[in-house]
Amino acid sequence: MKEKWFLTFPPELTEEPVTYTLIKNYDLRINILRASIGLNVTGNLLILIDGTPNAISEALTWLKTTGINVDSGDSQIIWNDELCVHCGACTAVCPAKALSLDPKTWLLSFSPEKCLACGHCIPACPLGAITNQKRRENV
């Protein structure tokens, strides 16, 4: 069973060997897609994991108890261009640059293929034009 997870960990957990624990204790195959980690700053990790449903569920529980936020990639971001006023308030909070402003027209565009579904853009939109749709039930 494969999952895509977007992990956000607080500054005090940057020394925690998260990937090691996930491999060693839960026998997960991990492919790191994107990482943004620095000592004592909020970090992000986008990983593809492969393991048994049981192991995935237990790993998820462990991550949550350590204080690491997990957005499992089972949701997709929906951008409603009819509500959008193209202000750009969502663009700098998007870690994947899936939401961006065209430097000529200053129109906003959304590239679903770049989107990590981290959801940071949802509260950033003052128009409520960005929502989250579950692809299926959570793990």
Partner 1 sequence: MSNKKSYEEINKKIKEGKAVIVSADEVLDIIAEKGITEAAKYVDVVTTATFGPMCSTGAFLNFGHADPPIRMTSVTLNDVPAYAGLAAVDAYIGATETSISKGIHYGGAHVICDLIDRKEVRLQASSPGTDCYPRKSIDTCITLDDINEAYLYNPRNAYQNYSAAINTSDLPLHTYMGILKSNMGNVHYCTSGQLSPLINDPYYRTIGIGTKIFLAGAQGFVSWMGTQFCSGRSRRENGLPDAPGGTLAVSGDLRSMSTEFIQPAVFEDYGISMFVGIGIPIPILDAEMMSNVSITDRDIFTNIEDYSVKRRDKPSLGTVSYEELRSGFVEIQGKKIPTAPITSLHKSRQIAELLKQQIKNGDFEITKPVAQFPLTNTLNTLEIKRKGDA
Tell me which residues touch partner 1 (CB under 8 A): 11, 41-42, 85-93, 101, 103, 105-108, 120, 123-124, 126-128
Q: How far apart are CA 129 and CA 118, in angstroms?
A: 16
CB of 63 to partner 1, least distance (A): 20
Nearer to partner 1, 23 or 101 (CB): 101
| The total number of residues written for the chain in this structure | 139
Q: Which is nearer to partner 1, 1 or 107 (CB)?
A: 107
80's CB contacts (< 8 A; 6+ apart) are 129, 130, 131
How far apart CA 125 and CA 51 sit, in angstroms, is: 35
What one-character DSSP code corresponds to residue 55? H
Task: Name which of 98 and 120 has its Cβ closer to partner 1.
Answer: 120
Strands 43-50 and 108-110: what pairing? unpaired
Q: Shortest Cβ distance from residue 47 to partner 1 (Å)?
A: 21
Nearer to partner 1, 55 or 89 (CB): 89
* Closest distance to partner 1 from the beta carbon of 128 (Å): 6
β-pairing verdict for 99-101 and 75-79: unpaired
